[in-house]
Amino acid sequence: MSDRKAPGKKLLKALAGEMTDGIPVWLMRQAGRYLPEYRKVRAEAGSFLDLCYTPDFAEEVTLQPIRRFGFDAAILFSDILVVPDALGQQVAFKEGEGPVLEPITDLAGLAKLSSPDGVKGRLAPVYETVARLSRSLPSETTLIGFAGAPWTVATYMVGGRGSPDQAAAKAWAYRAPDEFQTLIDLLVEATVEHLSAQVEAGAEVLQVFDTWAGSLPELSFERFALQPMKTIREKLKARFPDVPVIAFPRGAGGMAERYFRETGVTGLSLDTGVSPAWARDNLQGQGCLQGNLDPLLLVAGGPEMRRQALHILETLGQGPFIFNLGHGIVPQTPPEHVAELVTLVQEWRP
């Protein structure tokens, strides 16, 4: 592991439940198509997976928003679908379509996948990128590694692409929940291996994205979103007791409090639909919160962006808190609006 970790890092202090001199800030998808320098590297790289798997390119695009905006954290540039790719599922990113996978819809399809034990070997270039970043990032910048949560990754593996309702994965999970659990269990193990390798390479914080958690009804949420995250957290804590884990169960709604408490994660990332006051009163006593400005406010910029960002800061900034978005930056975001937001957050004091 890297020796970069310093107790004075603002984001690490917030995750430890300490008050910080100023609120730490980073943004989901802070490296991406809204930046002209990213688009230049993306064109040079060729395919999206080549960008993820080439350390020279992946390191560069991870560093770009740090150089431009001075965020308190850098998140590894990669994708949640490198895990199914490493397990042997056919994954491609098609221009104008997004990710396209060879669907897995039954146990016969699952049987064709590789063992989770091989993930570390197959994703070695990703961990090389993490190791490089642990050396090249500014000393005050926290390095975040990440993975997709089993349920969200499974929706792509089963459906073959993203979908508005996750119907294919839900159909399998409802029709044969024990069969579907086999896929979830496989992804739990693969995710633990993937995240562990990132820590070993130098990641100081881990974030797990469950983008489609909110599409599950309560009993399915318990089984396929909450319980897998709890298992991942327990396994990671046994290996790396001091590494914080942030979970992002997007759309969890009224299940968020129970999810935060029962999974044992260090921090909870909030989606745009969560009331900051409700989060302060019901969640912040359990640990650090992160969020949750609407990404489209960042597109609009101006007085309304500032007003709503200040509302979040004034409501949640009295407790352990990391400023972020309620989902990722969208491609049409003007970089100057990002710069304005970062300055606002960095200058704000309770």
pLDDT of res. 19: 85
What would the pLDDT profile of 237-265 be if each residue is shown by its tens digit? 999 999 999 999 999 999 999 999 999 99
Answer positive or negative: Cα dihedral of 81, 261, 233, 345.
positive
Entry pTM: 0.96
Average pLDDT over residues 87-112: 94
In order, the DSSP letters of 1-22 are --S---TT-HHHHHHTT---SS
pLDDT of res. 96: 82
- 154 found inside a domain: yes
- 72 found inside a domain: yes
Domain that residue 262 falls in: 10-347
Q: Cβ of 121: how many Cβ atoms within 10 Å?
A: 11
- 5 found inside a domain: no
Average pLDDT over residues 321-339: 98
- 185 found inside a domain: yes
- 288 found inside a domain: yes
Check if 29 is active-site. Answer: yes
34, 53, 127, 156: the catalytic one is 156
- 4 found inside a domain: no
User: What values do phi and psi take at 247, rounded to 5?
Assistant: -110, 145
Q: Under DSSP, is residue 100 helix (H, G, I), strand (E, B) or coil?
A: strand
Query: pLDDT-based confidence at 7, cuts 50/70/90?
Result: low
Is residue 53 within 8 Å of 125, Cβ to Cβ? yes
Token pair belonging to 83: 């895990």
Measured between alpha carbons, how far is 127 from 178 in angstroms, rounded to an integer? Answer: 33
4, 29, 233, 250: the catalytic one is 29
Answer positive or negative: Cα dihedral of 251, 256, 258, 260.
positive
What would the pLDDT profile of 100-112 be if each residue is shown by its tens digit? 999 999 999 999 9
pLDDT at 5 over 90: no
33, 161, 261, 280: the catalytic one is 33
Q: What is the CA radius of gyration of the chain?
A: 19
- 3 found inside a domain: no
pLDDT at 322 over 90: yes
Average pLDDT over residues 97-122: 95
pLDDT of res. 160: 97
pLDDT at 173 over 70: yes
- How many independent structural domains does the chain possess? 1
34, 38, 42, 72: the catalytic one is 42
Convert 24-42 to b/e letters by CB count within 10 Å (16 or more is b).
Answer: bbbbbbbbbebbebbeebb
pLDDT of res. 97: 85
- 325 found inside a domain: yes
pLDDT of res. 329: 98
Check if 38 is active-site. Answer: no
Q: Under DSSP, is residue 174 helix (H, G, I), strand (E, B) or coil?
A: helix
For residue 144, give Cα distances in angstroms to 123, 124, 152, 338. Answer: 17, 17, 19, 20
Query: pLDDT-based confidence at 340, cuts 50/70/90?
Result: very high
- Where in the chain does DSSP place strands (E)? 73-75, 91-94, 98-101, 142-148, 205-210, 245-249, 267-269, 288-293, 321-325
Measured between alpha carbons, how far is 329 from 58 in angstroms, rounded to an integer? Answer: 18
Q: Under DSSP, is residue 139 helix (H, G, I), strand (E, B) or coil?
A: coil
pLDDT of res. 2: 42
What would the pLDDT profile of 20-76 be if each residue is shown by its tens digit? 999 999 999 999 999 999 999 999 999 999 999 999 999 999 999 999 999 999 999
Check if 42 is active-site. Answer: yes
Convert 93-120 to b/e letters by CB count within 10 Å (16 or more is b).
Answer: beeeeebebebbeeeeebeebeebeebb
CATH classification at residue 186:
3.20.20.210
What would the pLDDT profile of 266-283 be if each residue is shown by its tens digit? 999 999 999 999 999 999
pLDDT of res. 1: 41
What would the pLDDT profile of 198-239 be if each residue is shown by its tens digit? 999 999 999 999 999 999 999 999 999 999 999 999 999 999
Q: Under DSSP, is residue 229 helix (H, G, I), strand (E, B) or coil?
A: helix
Measured between alpha carbons, how far is 40 from 9 in angstroms, rounded to an integer? Answer: 31
4, 53, 79, 132: the catalytic one is 79
pLDDT of res. 181: 98
Measured between alpha carbons, how far is 104 from 52 in angstroms, rounded to an integer? Answer: 23
